[in-house]
Amino acid sequence: DLDALPVELTQEALPAETQLTVSGKEVEHFDSAGALALHNFLKALQKHGKTLELIDFSERQRELLTLVQSKNGILEYQVPPPPH
């Protein structure tokens, strides 16, 4: 659920560990919007000094994430407002 990703990370909300593991084990659907949201989330973590390891992502998911990362600065994702 893309809307569940934090919009803004604060230092207080982050774990104290500098090395974080992000697992794709439970990911059932992963499209370009999901890859872009994950990319932005990972960038925000890295901005706070976190080192990341991605595990349990399929080859297709990794390729899609790599494609999105290669378009950094061109693509942008905004969490849509809640429905009325």
pLDDT (tens digit, 9 = 90+) per residue, 13-56? 788 889 999 999 999 999 988 898 888 888 888 988 999 999 99
b/e burial code for range 59-76 (CB count within 10 A of at least 16 → b): eebeebbeebeeeeeebe
pTM above 0.85, yes or no: no
Question: Minimal CA–CA distance to 79: which of 3, 1, 8?
Answer: 3
pLDDT of the residue at 24: 94
pLDDT per residue as tens digits for the range 53-83: 999 999 999 999 999 989 877 776 665 677 7
CA distance 50 to 19: 6
Specify the residue for token string 């774990």. 15
